[in-house]
Amino acid sequence: MRLLLQFLAVAAVALVGSQGAAAAQGNPWLTLTIGIATAVLAVVVYTWVVRRTERRAPVELARSGAIGATGRGLLIGVAMCGAVIANIAWLGGYSVAGLGSVTGMLALVGFMAAAAVTEELLFRGVLFRIVEERTGTWIALLLTGVVFGLAHMANPNASLWGATAIAIGAGFMLAAAYAATRTLWLPIGLHFGWNFALAGIFAAEVSGNDTTEGLLDSTLSGPTLLSGGDFGPEASGYAVASGALLTVAFLWLARRRGHIVPRRRRADRDLAPATLAG
């Protein structure tokens, strides 16, 4: 029940924010404002609903260390995106004709902030965290990563390969980042850094969405395995490989820190039904 309540509360904020952004299309400053407001409201709503349904402080969104963790995630996301684009360009799949739109880039700050925050709260803050309590880290990572990939099947230009690439290159990696740090701030920063760099700087499609009014006037070409095709660089082999490597690194760190949650035996789960029911 608590999973459903928390998920619906954050999803409602995401829906309202997306409708506001759609209404503000063409006005970059309003889009920026609505996006930032959506991200902040989502954090407030998540904090409130967790306190209500679980009777605890949401330590996964603790203020202490939030700026540093978000900043580290941002740097990882931007660096990962830059490395992927550089490799695609090296093989001739990415070219730049000149500068694009600075105001378009600013609008994408708000749009991508809202997307990163709401998706991390939904998929890592609610889904992964609660499923992990029942099944352990490994199964939760696999299940929620697959769900995250399938959720992108509704996007424009989606394909089974695109969903698979998102599951491996993002779903597993972001869950592992949360498992390693036990804070949502690092995966939020990583998610935002990747999305903003991809669209806002390199002007490439993000998960099939045509968000190409970024800082650069660029063109992607070549086979899907190289450039990602119409779905964007997230479906390229480079992005999948990079995400998989980071997943392994985060899981190694999680194991070293003792953050891997073992699968609970049925007898153990039956001892605390009230706690698990929320």
Which tens digits make up the pLDDT trace of 104-128?
Answer: 899 999 999 999 999 999 999 999 9
**Among residues 107, 91, 127, which one has the least CA distance to residue 25?**
107
Q: In angstroms, rounded to a whole number, what is the distance separating the alpha carbons of residues 153 and 159? A: 6
Q: Are 238 and 225 in contact (CB under 8 A)?
A: no
**Among residues 145, 183, 202, 177, which one has the least CA distance to residue 253?**
177
**Helix (H) or strand (E) segment spanning residue 250:** helix 237-256
- pLDDT for 242: 96
**Percent of the residues in the chain that have a pLDDT greater than 70, as a whole number:** 94
**Percent of the residues in the chain that have a pLDDT greater than 90, as a whole number:** 76
The type of residue at 159 is: S
Mean of the pLDDT values across residues 216-239? 92
Mean of the pLDDT values across residues 231-252? 96
Give alpha helix (H) positions in 91-217.
Answer: 102-120, 129-135, 137-151, 160-166, 172-181, 185-196
Mean of the pLDDT values across residues 155-169? 92
Query: Which residues lie across from 94 on neighbouring strands?
Result: 220
Residue 277: band (very low, low, confident or very high) from pLDDT cuts 50, 70, 90: very low
- pLDDT for 268: 53
Is residue 216 classed as helix, strand or coil in its secondary structure? strand
Residue 265: band (very low, low, confident or very high) from pLDDT cuts 50, 70, 90: low
- pLDDT for 274: 40
Q: In angstroms, rounded to a whole number, what is the distance separating the alpha carbons of residues 232 and 221? A: 10
User: What is the pTM (predicted TM-score) of this model?
Assistant: 0.92
User: What are the strands, taking DSSP E only, across the chain?
Assistant: 94-99, 216-220
- pLDDT for 270: 47
Residues contacting residue 86 through CB under 8 Å, at least 6 positions apart: none
Q: In angstroms, rounded to a whole number, what is the distance separating the alpha carbons of residues 28 and 8? A: 28
- pLDDT for 3: 78
The encoded tokens of residue 122 equal 């939904």
Give Cα separations from 231 to 91, 96, 157, 199, 209 (angstroms): 19, 19, 6, 13, 7
Q: In angstroms, rounded to a whole number, what is the distance separating the alpha carbons of residues 190 and 78? A: 8
- Burial (CB < 10 A; 0-12, 13-18, 19+), residue 156, is exposed
Which of 178-182, 186-190, 204-208, 233-237 has the least mean pLDDT?
A: 204-208
Q: Which residues constitute the domain of residue 121? A: 2-277
Task: Return mean pLDDT, the chain.
Answer: 91
Which of 55-64, 95-104, 123-132, 194-203 has the least mean pLDDT?
A: 95-104
Q: Are 130 and 4 in contact (CB under 8 A)?
A: no
The encoded tokens of residue 228 equal 């990602």
- pLDDT for 130: 93
- pLDDT for 26: 82
- pLDDT for 271: 44
The type of residue at 7 is: F
Q: In angstroms, rounded to a whole number, what is the distance separating the alpha carbons of residues 260 and 179? A: 7
On the question of pLDDT at 146 being above 80, the answer is yes
The encoded tokens of residue 245 equal 């490597």
Total of domains in the chain: 1
Rg (CA), the chain: 19
Q: Is the dihedral of CA 102, 104, 108, 110 positive or negative?
A: positive
